[in-house]
Structure 1
Amino acid sequence: MKLKTIRRRIETPGGKMKIIILRPEKQEKPVPGILWIHGGGYVTGMAAMVFVTAGSALAKHYGAVLIAPEYRRAVKHPYPAALEDCYAALEYLYNNADELGVDRDRIVVGGESAGGGLAAAICIYARDKGEIPISFQIPLYPMLDCKDTDSSRHSHSHGWGTRRNHWGWHTYLRDLYGTDNVPPYASPSRETNYANLPPCYTFVEDGEPFRDETVTYVKNLNDAGVEAHVDVFHGNIHGFDTMRWTKNAKKARKKLIQAAEKYLK
């Protein structure tokens, strides 16, 4: 499926925000809508990363409309700026569904790394607000836990390790960092009620820092009666699926396409 790229600015609590819209060149009926959130540890990254990550692959395969927000990064704008911006993008997708040709009953939220953490946070936030239904979530190797886990405590993973992880969380949370007052909208691992969240698919490598929080998130969803699955691949590269020529990346993308079929076909 060929996609066209549209760039717009939308209103957010922080002012105008750039978004990238990917939509089919030929679109005859309402299609699923995807909010795809870029990674970067909450401190770096850009919306244009969507062109090399799984979001655009899903949009192309299923002919979906995708929105990628250029949300505020934490170096200048700590929590809750990114959450506010991403929810504003979700509102734009939902409220402009008719113009965009999107089926409001098939809205998917996903992202990778910090974008995966924001995707999970948006799902919790949207459930609690009760305004926008999300049918499926795809938080890939998500940055969910502001506290060290067994896999993140002494990590030297390629691409993201313990020192960068502490820096990212400290920059994002500021005075909340290291306290017991971090809300689940900032660090989704702090959530205690996982009921009525959207079904979930994710993957992660076993040698990267976010392995434990990813597996725990899926377990918590399952324990709450939510359909969720994680595929764990052997390796230690954070963001491994973007290395599309590797065996693990090929397997992961194939698994993702299969898992999303129920919600995006």
Structure 2
Amino acid sequence: MGRSREFSPLDATPPFDPELAVVLEALGKESRESITPDNLAAMQERDASARPRPTADDLRDGGRFEVAELCVPGPPGGPDVTLVSARPAGPAGPLPLLYYLHGGAMIMGNAWSVLPRILREWALPLEMAVLSVEYRLAPQAQYPAPLEDCYAGLLWSAGHAAELGIDPDRIIVAGKSAGGGLAAALALLSRDRGGPGVLGQLLLCPMLDDRGSTFSSRRLSGLGGWDLTSHETVWKALLGDRYGAADLPCYAAPSRATDLSGLPPAYIEVGSAEMFRDEDMAYANAIWQAGGRAELHVWPGACHGFDGLAPQAALSRDAREARTRWLRRLLAQSGR
């Protein structure tokens, strides 16, 4: 009888959740095309034409929400920043604010398309106001332009809390994927500049590390729609000549941070079967080691953006409920 091959841990990858596996199989390989420098512009055009972009009237949903597009001063020397303001119609008094930064790998996405889900899942049941930021995208705008747009909008929002009807002491920064990385960077930047206080940071599968050197970034490349080729392309688009620099600031890539003390409580979630798993777990661990508060969820068998791919899957429903519980608990602990 022949000798069986010895098992190596490098042979193993976490299995996808069964419901997600069915969806990924149905999508096929075309939906997981790598982003390269050669096709980046075409990918941006494709995304802009395919991504739903609701109007203000769409978002008002027959009067359930108050919606307005605001043009506010941008960073010094930069253009104005557009904020999409939305809140439930009816609740009086200053509301807590969810300051949301959309995903899209820093090269795609917009402030409008994320709002239907946010309004339905959080703004209405938790009576929260939302400001979604239309920050500049790479490679047309490179670091620090997108982050400075987000910071300028945050400064303006906190300074105009009374007219916005928001509570400046209950601002939560939030984002998904690239937006999650920006939200983490914004919390660091506001801390270090003495900017507006942030009550919490909601980081959903955040894109934190430009180096692509973790075990999961190497081993899970290409699983579930993201790979090292795309990863390198978008980070180069954002950082330009600073890509790979040893002294890259933590505001460009929060995983580079060496001091995570004094940050607001964080909710961090990631899938066990996605490239960002290890960098996100490490970020939560670094917050704990700095004496901070972080709630970490690693959803078993989840790929990047799983709840958008399979919103009715049991795992997606569990993830949405966990985020909402954290937000509700954080708001209750703020004592208002």
Same fold, TM-score > 0.5, yes or no: yes
**Partners in 2 of 1:179 and 1:129 — Cα distance?**
23
Pairwise mapping of residues 108-257 of structure 1 onto structure 2 (< 5 A)? 108-148=172-212, 149-154=214-219, 155-242=221-308, 243-257=310-324
**Partners in 2 of 1:136 and 1:87 — Cα distance?**
15
**Partners in 2 of 1:30 and 1:52 — Cα distance?**
22
More strand by share: 1
Residue 27 in 1 paired to residue 94 in 2? no
**Partners in 2 of 1:39 and 1:160 — Cα distance?**
14
Shift of 1:53: 4.6
Structure 1 residues 47 and 166, CA gap change in structure 2 (3 angstroms): same
Structure 1 residues 184 and 56, CA gap change in structure 2 (3 angstroms): farther
1:64 pairs, out of 120, 128, 151, with 128
Structure 1 residues 56 and 202, CA gap change in structure 2 (3 angstroms): farther
Residue deviations 1:148-191 (CA, integer Å, cap 9, x gap): 11111241132322211111111101111112021000000110
- Structure 2 match to 1:6: 68
Residue deviations 1:17-46 (CA, integer Å, cap 9, x gap): 222111121131111011100011111111
Q: How many residues align?
A: 265
Shift of 1:96: 1.2
Amino acid at match of 1:263: L
**Partners in 2 of 1:120 and 1:56 — Cα distance?**
24
More helix by share: 2
Residue deviations 1:197-226 (CA, integer Å, cap 9, x gap): 000112111111111111111111111111
Over alpha carbons, which structure has the higher Rg? 2
**Partners in 1 of 2:248 and 2:120 — Cα distance?**
32
Percent of aligned positions that are identical = 37
**Partners in 1 of 2:211 and 2:218 — Cα distance?**
9
Conserved in 2, the CA contact under 8 Å of 1:64 and 1:264? no
Shift of 1:56: 5.6
**Partners in 2 of 1:32 and 1:219 — Cα distance?**
28
Amino acid at match of 1:84: E
- Structure 1 match to 2:331: 264
Q: Aligned-pair RMSD on alpha carbons?
A: 1.6
TM-score, scaled to structure 1: 0.95
TM-score, scaled to structure 2: 0.76
Q: After the TM superposition, list the runs of 4 or more consecutive aligned residues in structure 1 that deviate by more than 3 angstroms.
A: 52-56
**Partners in 2 of 1:50 and 1:203 — Cα distance?**
18
**Partners in 2 of 1:87 and 1:157 — Cα distance?**
33
Shift of 1:130: 1.1
Structure 2: 5+ residue stretches without partners: 1-62
- SS in structure 1 at match of 2:240: helix
**Partners in 1 of 2:297 and 2:117 — Cα distance?**
17
**Partners in 2 of 1:131 and 1:169 — Cα distance?**
26
**Partners in 1 of 2:85 and 2:146 — Cα distance?**
18
**Partners in 1 of 2:160 and 2:172 — Cα distance?**
15
Conserved in 2, the CA contact under 8 Å of 1:55 and 1:110? no
**Partners in 2 of 1:86 and 1:105 — Cα distance?**
18
Residue 37 in 1 paired to residue 104 in 2? no
- Structure 1 match to 2:115: 51
Conserved in 2, the CA contact under 8 Å of 1:114 and 1:143? yes
